[in-house]
A = this chain, B = another copy of it.
């Protein structure tokens, strides 16, 4: 089969006005960025009828190096629902620029299930992340500027927690010292990847531009010498930050290879943030379409849980169905097979690994959301291996469909689409978050650890427990919890694949994201600014004589 890039380049894209019309949007509602990208103007969104569509989440088993194809399946399912005559919009995260220069590949699907134009989406799209970087760094500049000019807020320079942001994998900026040369307070600082910033998380959870400004104002940027929290509103940066983000806040419309409308907007990290596209885009999709298909980062233990407990809770969303994506290859790895040995058929390993799938399915069902399993087909899959997945699903009474959207496009996911539609139209969903708002923060962590990860309990480090108590006392106890844990295991140890039991979850530290509206529980190291590998993909990226970008994906 042709490569992703060959398929993308051979595609004849439709004018974005045609895609808008397919989604029910007038050309006047579109703020175009060239022929194939547009922002949907916020006043046009406000003039639309209220949400009416049904929301479908695509989530997955615990990720492995074998690849699961969650984004590809999200796109394939959306295309197939459209093919089946159901008006469907796909909602995805925007890819981050920095990682594109590290390891090859963006995050826009593959094969015959892609969103286009890939090059533009991977590089700058409509500049949203650049605007977010600028907004984040304006706040940083104003914090240090205030300290420089007499420090009227009495901020303790050694207790500034607000970090700068960059959309570039630049290891050298992880830990730095700023303010040298009589340029203000000399202090330790660092850059996070833009997608790891609270600015991004708040942006993606805001229900309106006004709500965004309120959220930005609530962000805690440090402490005074008297150990009182300093909010961004006190720094007086939030109006200008909102001005920087005004255009970015409008969702981006692009298309799939099949011509389905796709809203690609926002992209917070799935570890220290919640890992979903913007509420603004999901809301727009639900106003326009009968079906909105979206995804969440990592496996269902992290992605779906945060989608339900953070995004759906805050935005008042009620998912109607969920798809859990699995592959035979990945389940083999959960069954103990090393990556190098994946070429060898091993149904027994698939059977063992299916315990991971089973646990994720059961977890999603705990939220009152009906589930179907999608097997993303790989050409080397054997009948015996696939039979093990079918057997597992039969055992737990969940539907399962073999999907070939990667090779065939929409027709390859039509069975899945019909199954999803049957679940949605069956009306069996009774969505509820896992825990109520008033539950104390430590109890929320424990609830997630026990019910979702199946831990025997939680060990919260003493300093973290003290911070939780402080958050409770400060009026943040009602917030949901955002778990920052390895995605590769239900435990905090990435090596423990499958469905491990008999472990406790260590919580090393906690952080308040008051603007995003959650408390982060850190269960391991979280890299907030990735580095480049020894041979960065950037070395092979370039523009050819025809102006075509080569080597980007």
Interface residue ranges, A against B (CB under 8 Å): 31-35, 39, 42-43, 97, 101, 120, 123-124, 127, 130-131, 133-134, 137-138, 140-142, 144-145, 148-150, 164, 166-181, 183-185, 188-189, 209-210, 213, 236-237, 239-240, 242-244, 246-247, 531-534, 536, 538-543, 545, 547, 549, 551-552
- Residues of B within 8 Å of A177, CB to CB, are 176-177, 180
Q: A34-B32, A210-B545, A549-B246 are in contact. Are A538 and B142 (CB under 8 A)?
A: yes
- Residues of B within 8 Å of A35, CB to CB, are 31
- Residues of B within 8 Å of A209, CB to CB, are 543, 547
Assess the A171–B144 pair: CB atoms within 8 A: yes
Distance between Cα atoms of A540 and B170 in the complex (Å): 33
- Residues of B within 8 Å of A552, CB to CB, are 243
Please tell me which one of the listed residues B97, B174, B547, B549 contacts residue A181 in the complex, with CB atoms under 8 A apart.
B174
Q: A243-B541, A243-B549 are in contact. Are A130 and B137 (CB under 8 A)?
A: no
Q: A131-B124, A171-B145, A175-B180 are in contact. Are A246 and B543 (CB under 8 A)?
A: yes
Distance between Cα atoms of A138 and B166 in the complex (Å): 11
Assess the B236–A539 pair: CB atoms within 8 A: yes
Distance between Cα atoms of A189 and B177 in the complex (Å): 10
- Residues of B within 8 Å of A164, CB to CB, are 173
Assess the B168–A134 pair: CB atoms within 8 A: yes
- Residues of B within 8 Å of A127, CB to CB, are 124, 127, 130
Q: A180-B176, A180-B177, A549-B246 are in contact. Are A101 and B240 (CB under 8 A)?
A: yes
Assess the B170–A140 pair: CB atoms within 8 A: yes
Q: A168-B141, A170-B140, A532-B145 are in contact. Are A541 and B124 (CB under 8 A)?
A: no
Taking the closest CB of chain B, its distance from the CB of A453, in whole angstroms, is 30
Q: Which residue of B lies closest to A149 (CB)?
A: B534
Q: Which residue of B lies closest to A127 (CB)?
A: B127
Q: A130-B130, A172-B141 are in contact. Are A543 and B183 (CB under 8 A)?
A: no
Q: Which residue of B lies closest to A150 (CB)?
A: B534
In the A-B complex, list the 5 residue pairs whose CB atoms are closest, starting with the nearest. Answer: A239-B542, A130-B130, A175-B181, A141-B170, A240-B538
Distance between Cα atoms of A534 and B133 in the complex (Å): 23
Assess the A172–B168 pair: CB atoms within 8 A: no
Indicate how many identical chains form the complex.
2
Q: A124-B127, A539-B236, A543-B209 are in contact. Are A183 and B174 (CB under 8 A)?
A: yes
Q: A181-B175, A547-B43 are in contact. Are A148 and B531 (CB under 8 A)?
A: yes
Taking the closest CB of chain B, its distance from the CB of A65, in whole angstroms, is 21
- Residues of B within 8 Å of A148, CB to CB, are 171-172, 531
Taking the closest CB of chain B, its distance from the CB of A233, in whole angstroms, is 11
| A–B complex contacts, Cβ < 8 Å, 15 sampled | A33-B34, A34-B39, A42-B547, A97-B134, A101-B138, A124-B127, A134-B168, A140-B170, A171-B183, A172-B185, A174-B183, A236-B538, A237-B538, A239-B540, A243-B543
Assess the B243–A542 pair: CB atoms within 8 A: yes
Distance between Cα atoms of A207 and B240 in the complex (Å): 36
Taking the closest CB of chain B, its distance from the CB of A199, in whole angstroms, is 14
Distance between Cα atoms of A247 and B545 in the complex (Å): 14
- Residues of B within 8 Å of A184, CB to CB, are 171-172
Taking the closest CB of chain B, its distance from the CB of A343, in whole angstroms, is 30
Assess the B183–A178 pair: CB atoms within 8 A: no
- Residues of B within 8 Å of A531, CB to CB, are 145, 148, 183
User: Which residue, A31, A138, A239, A538, has most C-beta atoms of chain B within 10 A?
Assistant: A538
- Residues of B within 8 Å of A178, CB to CB, are 172-173, 176
- Residues of B within 8 Å of A170, CB to CB, are 137, 140-141, 144-145
Assess the B142–A532 pair: CB atoms within 8 A: yes
Given contacts A32-B32, A123-B247, A177-B177, 19 further A-B contacts (CB under 8 A): A32-B33, A123-B244, A130-B133, A134-B167, A134-B168, A142-B536, A145-B532, A145-B536, A164-B173, A171-B183, A171-B184, A172-B183, A172-B189, A175-B180, A175-B181, A239-B543, A240-B538, A240-B542, A243-B542
